Amino acid sequence: MPTKVWQPGADKLGEEELECDPTAYNSLHAFHIGWPCLSFDVVRDSLGLLRTDFPHTVYFVAGSQAEKPDWNSIGIFKVSNVSGKQRDLVPSKTTDGDSDMDADNSDSDEDSEDEEEGGSVTPVLQLCKVAHGGCSNRICAMTQNPHICASWSDAGYVQIWDFSTHLNAWQSETEVPRGASSVFNQAPLFNFKGHKDEGYAIDWSPRVAGRLVTGDCKNCIHLCEPTSDATWNVDATLFTGHTASVEDLQWSPTEDHVFASCSVDGHIAIWDARLGKSPAIYFKAHSADVNVISWNRLASVMLASGIDDGTFSISDLRLLSPKSEEDKSSVAHFQYHNHPITAIRVEST
């Protein structure tokens, strides 16, 4: 069958079956690390933002979902010698009647031959683990200080960690066997146990270093402000407005005090911490649970949301009124998936 672009609202979707196509990736590697992980985050490094030539190196953190609470840990990973295929952003047009796909496959074959001639292309995984009480529901690294990470435990508390020692160790020239790992007992910098239940919503401010917002399954939202490099103060007054579990939080990419939240109650809220603890804007986004949101960091008036019924929407916040709960902001609504949307991300490139 010829490849066809799916048109939302025009084409009907039959039974959904997702298949992995390895040729869609410039680089694809797999590692077995033990327990499954519900959340991970890439740790920004000092190797440069624009890296086009292989091999690559990447650092990231992930929290485990182990069988027993005391078996859990946060993994600090370094994957180096990552090989792959170098592709043009826009495939060149062919003149001999072949498709772009055929040309791309041909390039891939040539790249594979070049990699074989260049020696080993096996990536190297280095891993150390820090003991974590309970399963990690969500983990995220601070943008400004990537060695500082926050984790949401299913035991009901939020912890902030300093992983600089482990990340700095990866910078040394010492050879570490592939897949080797050690478990460290390390105390967190900060341990907040003020939430009424476990949660999944957490986000570092991209504009104010150390500013953290967290939400739990009892509809409570807390704001943590840094008082120094290693201590935080939690505002005792909750942000209240949602009537069910807060599923996701996102800071505004342009405003220091503004963040968005979504909830099982079907609403999306926009909060301004300068105006108090009630939503500045609160609107019914959908009749089902709103699981995830993603704020466009280039077009800051646009917010994407993923719904439990398998749909996702794009909202223009300029179309909202603080006095109306009716959603007049939706500029696009996609009905494609048949199962809940559990992750969504707007790429700002």
Query: In this structure, are residues 292 and 261 in contact, taking their beta carbons and an 8 Å threshold?
Result: no
For 116-157, write each residue's pLDDT tens digit: 433 457 899 999 999 999 999 999 999 999 999 999 999 999
Interval 316-336 mean pLDDT: 77
Length of the chain: 349
Query: Residue 11 has which token pair?
Result: 């084409």
Query: Residue 55 has which token pair?
Result: 């091999």
Torsion, Cα 76 132 136 18, to 10 degrees, reads 50
Residue among 196, 298, 186, 313 nearest 246 (CA): 196
pTM of the model: 0.84
Separation between Cα atoms, residue 102 and residue 223, nearest integer Å: 52
Separation between Cα atoms, residue 30 and residue 23, nearest integer Å: 15
Task: Please determine, for residue 110, whether its predicted confidence score (pLDDT) is greater than 90.
Answer: no
Q: Residue 9: what are its φ and ψ, rounded to 5°?
A: 85, -10
Query: In this structure, are residues 62 and 40 in contact, taking their beta carbons and an 8 Å threshold?
Result: yes
Separation between Cα atoms, residue 291 and residue 305, nearest integer Å: 8
Q: CB under 8 Å to 156, separation ≥6 — which residues?
A: 193, 195, 196, 197, 198, 216
Q: Is 259 exposed, middle or buried (0-12, 13-18, 19+ CB in 10 A)?
A: buried
Burial letters for 109-146: b for 16+ Cβ neighbours within 10 Å, e otherwise?
A: eebeeebeeeeebebbbbbbbbebbbbbbbbbbbeebb
For 258-282, write each residue's pLDDT tens digit: 999 999 999 999 999 999 999 999 9
According to the model, what pLDDT value does residue 99 have? Answer: 39
Q: Going edge to edge, which strands form the sheet with 56-64?
A: 37-43, 56-64, 73-82, 124-131, 183-184
* CA distances to 48, 71, 247 from 37, in Å: 27, 13, 18
Residue among 264, 214, 220, 258 nearest 239 (CA): 220
Residue among 347, 345, 340, 348 nearest 294 (CA): 345
Query: Residue 52 has which token pair?
Result: 């086009």
Question: 3-class SS at 127?
Answer: strand
For 22-66, write each residue's pLDDT tens digit: 888 888 888 888 899 999 999 999 888 888 888 999 999 999 999
Separation between Cα atoms, residue 57 and residue 121, nearest integer Å: 13
Percent of residues, the chain, with pLDDT higher than 90: 58
More confident residue, 22 or 306: 306
According to the model, what pLDDT value does residue 130 have? Answer: 96
* Mean pLDDT over each residue of the chain, to the nearest integer: 85
Q: How confident is the model at residue 250 (pLDDT cuts 50, 70, 90)?
A: very high
Helix, strand and coil content of the chain, in percent to the nearest 5, comes to 10, 35, 55
Query: In this structure, are residues 319 and 285 in contact, taking their beta carbons and an 8 Å threshold?
Result: no
Half-sphere exposure of 106 (CA within 13 A, CB side): 9
Residue among 293, 318, 191 nearest 242 (CA): 293
